[in-house]
Amino acid sequence: MRPIKKLLWVSDGHACSTESAQEFERFSWLGHFIAKEKPDTIVFGGDFWDNPSLNTHKGSTLLPSAGKEAPGAAAKHDILKDWNAGRDAMMKILGVFKADNERHRKAGHRERIYDPDAYYLEGNHEEFWTRARIKHPSIGSLVSNEAAIEFLNGVGIQWVPAREKLLLGGVAFQHIHPDGRGQPIVLNSLLPELLMSNVSGHTHGYGEREKIRADGKVQRAIVGGCWKSPERLGTKDRPGLLLMEDVFQGEFHHKFIPQHVVAREYRSITWGLAAA
Ligand SMILES: [Fe+2]
Ligand SMILES: [Fe+2]
């Protein structure tokens, strides 16, 4: 097994149909970042579909559990528009280098085609589709994780169900690393519980812990931020990207690149495209 040279983790995009075009541009910045850095592996950590129409915390009654707060907020959203928002976000990211690839293909430069190993980890906001079908089976003909899997497979991304860990280079990736009751394991407990390096999303914050094993290998637990709209951030949200290099047997070196740094680099390019 060879090390993964460069792995990009990006999680919790929370694309929403009510965002402005300007807010949506963060997905283009991300596409340009990927096209420049060319990670050989990309892990989308889940929750790129925000799905507010199905969110019980926003008062949705479409899921088996009852709405808890802000009754009515979910009613302002539309199931299909929610679906389109997540799909459009992914297409905006991929569109940047897919267009480059098309140029290379036409010019006969097949060696320049960029084709990373890409994974999508189902988040709890994508699980809304499955939960909604328990109460309303007909919702499955509108939106479902089968439809998401088909869409993502069509653009070269492999789906990983929420209950599974993706193991790459000795690191366990999952939207939420759950405890025995299905609750997220807190950052301080991730290494003692999982006994291996791990990365997760869901909290939208950033944090890391490390432990040096008896054999000298460094194992890390990282909660890797989010890619939410810069206009919708909570006080604990840390928007940004996690770049991991030489990932092997759970060891790697890494940096967290804040979203505003990515924006500064690519905003001028993407703003021109958005205005066109
Ligand atoms: Fe999230
Ligand atoms: Fe989540």
The class of domain 4-275 in CATH terms is alpha beta
What is the average per-residue pLDDT within 245-268? 95
> How much distance in Å is there from the Cα of 14 to the middle of ligand 1?
7
For residue 177, the CA-to-ligand 1 centroid distance in Å is 13
Q: How large is the average pLDDT for residues 22-32?
A: 96
- Distance separating alpha carbons of residues 5 and 132, to the nearest angstrom: 40
- φ, ψ for residue 157 (rounded to 5)? -120, 135
* Alpha-carbon gap, residue 88 to 49, rounded angstroms: 10
Coil, strand or helix: which one is 76? Answer: helix
- Contact between 155 and 90 under an 8 Å Cβ cutoff? The reply is yes
pLDDT in the model for residue 178 = 97
CA of 201 from ligand 1 middle (Å) equals 7
Residue 50 Cα to ligand 2 midpoint, Å, equals 9
| Ligand in nearest proximity to the CA of 128 | 2
Residues near ion ligand 2 (CB < 5 Å) are 47, 123-124, 202
pLDDT digits (tens, 9 = 90+) for 193-228: 999 999 999 999 999 999 999 899 999 999 999 999
Does the pLDDT at position 269 exceed 90? no
Sheet holding 218-224, edge to edge: 166-168, 171-174, 197-200, 218-224, 206-212
Question: How many Å apart are CA 73 and CA 133, to the nearest integer?
Answer: 21
pLDDT of residue 62: 74
Ligand showing the shortest atom-to-Cα distance for residue 204: 1
Q: Structural domain boundaries of the chain?
A: 4-275
Helical residues (DSSP H) of 38-183, grouped into ranges: 79-106, 124-135, 145-154
Q: Tens digit of pLDDT for each residue in 31-41?
A: 999 999 999 99
pLDDT band, residue 139 (cuts 50/70/90): confident
The separation between the first and the last C-alpha atoms of the chain, rounded to the nearest angstrom, is 46
Rg (CA), the chain: 19
Q: What does DSSP say about strands 206-212 and 197-200: parallel, antiparallel, or unpaired?
A: unpaired
pLDDT at 194: 97
Phi–psi pair at 226, nearest 5 degrees: -150, 175
Find the Cα–Cα–Cα–Cα dihedral 245, 246, 247, 251, rounded to 10°: -100
Q: What are the backbone dihedrals phi and psi of residue 48, each rounded to the nearest 5 degrees, phi first? A: -80, -25
Give the position of tokens 């129409």: 53
Q: Does the structure show a pLDDT above 90 at 14? A: yes
Distance of CA 104 from the midpoint of ligand 1 (Å) = 36
Query: Which among 193, 188, 229, 192 has a CA at the least distance from the CA of 207?
Result: 188
Q: pLDDT digits over 251-262, tens only?
A: 999 999 999 999
Checking if the pLDDT of 66 tops 60, the result is no
Q: What would you measure as the largest C-alpha separation in the chain, in angstroms? A: 57
Note the pTM of the prediction, 2 decimals: 0.93
Under DSSP, is residue 40 helix (H, G, I), strand (E, B) or coil?
coil
Q: Please tell me the distance from the alpha carbon of residue 192 to that of residue 212, in angstroms, as a whole number.
A: 12
Mean pLDDT of the chain: 92
